[in-house]
Structure 1
C-alpha cells in the first residue's frame, strides 16, 4: 500500500463537489481505499475523504478509536457514495481538526445523531445510525465531498486555535458560560 499526499487548505480539490463513484467494486477503488486507510492511520487521523488525497470522488474512510468512542469502537471503514441525514434537531458544539488544516482545531456545531448510508467495496449496502463522536466524524468527512471545510461551519472564528492553544479557548468558553 502507499501513503498518499494530503491536500491542504487552499488547494482547489478541497472546494469542489466530488463525483459519484460509478463502480464501487472497481479494483482501482479498492486500491484507493486501502491507500486512504493507510494514510489516515499514518497521519494519524480518524477520517479521510477522497478529495483530501486529490481524488474528487464521493468516498470516505473513517474509524472511531477506543479513546474517542464513548464505548463504541468502529474499525477502519470505507463508505462509498454516502448520504447523511440528521436524526432529530439536537446539535452540540465540539472540537474538530482536519488533516487538510494541520496544527489547528475549532469548535464546530454538528448534529448529535445521524443516519448514513452508502455502499462498501463489494457493492454491498451500508446503512447505520451514529451518535456522538462517530456522528461528528461522518459529518466532517461528508462535508469534504461537497467542498466544505470545518471552518466554514464555525459560527465564531474566535474559537479557532492552534492545537497547543485550544485549552485557552476551552477556558474562555467556560468563563463565558459562567457569566450567563
Structure 2
C-alpha cells in the first residue's frame, strides 16, 4: 500500500499503528455541546516543545483507539490549532501526518466539484450523514518543529482535511447541515452513542493487553 507521511512518500510498510500511536496515551474524546468544540482555537506557538510532541503522540493514540480518520486537538480538550490524520483514500493510498495552524486554500467555485458523501465525526459518535464538500483540498501550515507544510488531498482525504480544519474554527460537520438533518443526527447519536463508546473502551483495553488490532475506516 502506498504511504504518504506529512505529504511525502514513505516506506510501504509504514507501521500500523504508527510509532506515535504506540508511544501515546489515549484520551477521552469530547462530545458535541462541550465548549471547546464550539469556538476558534488558539494558534500553536511552542514549536519544538516536548509537550507538543507528546500531545501529537496522544492524539494519534486516541485516533487509533477510536478507529477514526482524523482528530483535532479540541477533540481531546486541548485549545490549540492542531490536527492529525491516519487514513486510506479511495485509491488505496494511506495518508499519515499532523499539521499546526492550518489554512485551507480557497477553491474557486468554477473549478471545484462537490461530492456528497456520508460524513461522521468522533465527537458526534454514531451517525453518518450525506454532506457535500469539494473533492480537492490544500492546507498550508507548519509541523510541530515549525517547518512549513503543504498537504494536498482528493476525495476522502480532501474531506478529512476540510473536516478537521473546521474543528479548529469551532465547527462540527453537523453545523453544515440543515436544521432538520442536524436534529436527526443528534437524535441518532443518542441511540448509538453507548455502543460506539463501548467499542472504544474495548479497543483501549485490548491495547493495554497488547492485543490491539488495526483501526478501521471510520470518519
Q: Secondary structure at the match of 2:105?
A: strand
Unaligned runs of 5+ in 1: 166-180
Residue 177 of structure 2 is matched in structure 1 by 154
Unaligned runs of 5+ in 2: 1-23, 193-219
Deviation at 1:111, TM superposition (A): 1.3
Residue 8 of structure 2 is matched in structure 1 by none
Q: Secondary structure at the match of 1:71?
A: coil
Q: Secondary structure at the match of 2:31?
A: coil
Q: Secondary structure at the match of 1:79?
A: strand
Residue 80 of structure 1 is matched in structure 2 by 100
Deviations 1:109-167 (CA, angstroms, capped at 9, x unpaired)? 111111111111222211132110010001111111011010111247448554899xx
Q: Of the candidates 2, 5, 24, which is equivalent to residue 47 of structure 2?
A: 24
TM-score by length of 2: 0.68
Residue 110 of structure 1 is matched in structure 2 by 133
Residue 40 of structure 1 is matched in structure 2 by 63
Residue 177 of structure 1 is matched in structure 2 by none
Q: How many aligned positions are there?
A: 162
Residue 69 of structure 1 is matched in structure 2 by 90
Is 2:28 the counterpart of 1:5?
yes
Q: Of the candidates 142, 147, 156, which is equivalent to residue 165 of structure 2?
A: 142
Deviation at 1:6, TM superposition (A): 0.7
Is 2:168 the counterpart of 1:128?
no
Residue 105 of structure 2 contacts residue 140 of structure 2 at CA under 8 Å; is this kept in 1?
no
Measure the CA separation in 2 of the matches of 1:139 and 1:45: 15
Task: Classify 1:155/1:91 alpha carbon distance in 2 versus 1 (closer, same or farther; 3 Å).
Answer: farther
